[in-house]
Amino acid sequence: MTSFGRSLLAIIVAIISIGAITQKVRDQGVTDTEIRIGNLMPYTGPLEVFGQIGKAEAAYFEMVNERGGVNGRKIRFLSYDDLSDPANAMDLARILVEIDNVLLMFGSFGTPGNLAVRPYLNERKIPQLFLASGDQQFSEPSKYPWTMGWQPSFQDEGRIYANYIQANYPGKKIVALWQNDNFGRELFKGLEQGLGDVARNIRVDIAYDVADRHLDGHMSILKRSGAEVFVFAGVPENAAKVIRIAAEHDWHPVFIVNQMASSIATVLKPAGSDSASGVMTAAFLKDASDPAWKSERTGKDWTTFLDKYTRMGGTDEGAAMYGYAAAEALVQVLRQCGNDLSRDNVMKQAASLDYQGSALLPDIRINTGPQDFRPIEQLRLVQFDGRTWQPIGDVLETAFADASRK
């Protein structure tokens, strides 16, 4: 072969190799200018309050896009309403993957819908990242290597409440009012597990539907039990109601509410600051309506984001903070990917996180590993003093964190 022929062959091989590399690092949903992200939210239906999270995520991505996007690419956020129906979730996930050609699914809300689509997404090797659910099943990399949870598990949250009760109120009578769904059952299960042999101190527990109109009656039953400790697990609107009802009944137990129903703006103030004084929760996010973070709320990033969120119809600053934190984590993953936006690399980078999220409470970090698919593994007990959240003790490692680090 002549020198010219060898040179020509080398050029052809190089072109083919470049083409192969281009194909390798760009899966479906990625172009020179765009990254397509899929999402499912309950924008209508019984859990529509949590659709505010989707609006917050959309606002965050819009802010990022206006600043140049991620590595020169804009994020196209395709978010559909599944009405909290697993059958709808399955149909819409297929549309997002097979018609809209998204690179990955991100931040979809709820346990039933995410469980419904998980086998399909894992079979097709499509990342299912940072789900808005605390179910422990979303952190099983050996079984579902394409699915990664986000927040501390509901069971771990329940265990932390149990540990606090045992340490500070041993022998006291306990009652619980919990939402009759995956979330409520998981949190109550964690409470029972954490109490262990002293779970017998739970004198009454009532499971209620999210649209239950008999909360006043339930609270009367719980008060008559003579309990000194009350644990509530439910949506924000009902949390505000039960706090107010307890005050009206002149019942003042140690009052614990789940962290997703603990916003000062949407729960405690509507319940009445005096009535809510003393309420406790286990938190990992800053409360956007807490005066303690006032200086941060006036920062450029938050004010720009919040302006976009309110223009999109957002009204819940608690959901805004949650969506902000989750979207920030996804952008971190995409930035770490660089120009290798293959799905394999997306999962590799999602399992290689270690940073302090700007919306997280101090000393709570986002940390993942190849066998650690729960990005947030810490919680902090806090108590409302009528104005702001006051921390109680140190940051607490969850049972999941303890197990993953052994």
Q: Classify 82 as helix, strand or coil.
A: coil
In a domain, 272, yes or no: yes
Residues 259 and 396 in one domain: yes
Residues 197 and 269 in one domain: yes
Residues 68 and 119 in one domain: yes
Residues 349 and 258 in one domain: no
Residues 60 and 177 in one domain: no
- Residues facing 26 on adjacent strands: 341
Determine how many CB atoms are found less than 10 A away from the CB of residue 331.
16
* Cα–Cα dist 58/77, whole Å: 7
Q: What is the pLDDT of residue 24?
A: 45
Which CATH number do you get for residue 216?
3.40.50.2300
* Cα–Cα dist 45/198, whole Å: 38
In a domain, 206, yes or no: yes
pLDDT exceeds 80 at position 15? no
What is the tally of structural domains in the chain?
A: 2
In a domain, 87, yes or no: yes
Inter-residue contact 150 to 367 (CB < 8 Å)? no
Residue type, 369: G
Tens of pLDDT along 61-84? 999 999 999 999 999 999 999 999
In a domain, 65, yes or no: yes
Residues 258 and 172 in one domain: yes
Q: Classify 364 as helix, strand or coil.
A: coil
Q: In what order do the strands lie in the sheet with 34-41?
A: 74-81, 34-41, 104-106, 128-129
Residues 301 and 371 in one domain: yes
Residues 224 and 99 in one domain: no
pTM of the predicted model, to two decimals?
0.89
In a domain, 110, yes or no: yes
Instruction: Categorize the per-residue pLDDT at 299 as very low, low, confident or very high, splitting at 50, 70 and 90.
Output: confident
Residues 134 and 175 in one domain: no
55 class by beta-carbon count within 10 Å (0-12 exposed, 13-18 middle, 19+ buried): buried
In a domain, 174, yes or no: yes
Q: What is the pLDDT of residue 399?
A: 63
Question: Domain of 185?
Answer: 154-283+381-404
Mean pLDDT across the stretch 120-139? 96
Mean pLDDT across the stretch 325-351? 97
pLDDT exceeds 70 at position 323? yes
Residues 302 and 275 in one domain: no
User: β-pairing, 378-384 with 396-397?
Assistant: antiparallel
Residues 300 and 336 in one domain: yes
pLDDT exceeds 70 at position 307? yes
Tens of pLDDT along 39-60? 999 999 989 999 999 999 999 9
Residues 307 and 344 in one domain: yes
pLDDT exceeds 80 at position 202? yes
Average pLDDT, the chain: 91
In a domain, 158, yes or no: yes
Tens of pLDDT along 80-112? 999 999 999 999 999 999 999 999 999 999 999
Q: What is the pLDDT of residue 177?
A: 98
36 or 319: whose pLDDT is higher? 36
In a domain, 10, yes or no: no
Q: What is the pLDDT of residue 7?
A: 47
